[in-house]
Amino acid sequence: PITPGELLCLGSSLAFSGLFYYLYRRKARVVARIQEAPKLQVDDKLPALVSAAEGRCLPYVALEGIVLPAQAALTSHYHEGLQGVIQKLLLKEHRLIWNSLARGW
């Protein structure tokens, strides 16, 4: 005979397994889309291509080309000859709306 506690453990284990499998499959689809992304060169044609795209946005593309630093390139303290640059960050703040039911923003 199976006790109610064992049934509860089995049910919760199956529920968690299903949830984690769903999350895994969703992330696997995103990774597949990124790996299949078209590779574009950074050249004079790129702005025209972005302007012609729907919503002026190219989802999941890989850009290849030479990047020049705005000031000085960053050098690694751990690997000689390794340099990098920092990408400009764009911060978009979303408007906060008070939710009176949950009493939070």
pLDDT at 91: 67
pLDDT at 90: 66
> Do both 45 and 83 map to the same domain?
yes
Q: Which two tokens stand for residue 74?
A: 């960053």
Query: pLDDT below 70 — which residues of the chain?
Result: 88-91, 93-94, 105
100 within a domain of the structure (yes/no): no
Q: Domain limits at 27?
A: 1-36
The amino acid present at 29, given as its one-letter code, is R
54 within a domain of the structure (yes/no): yes
Closest CA to 62 of 33, 91, 28: 33
pLDDT at 89: 63
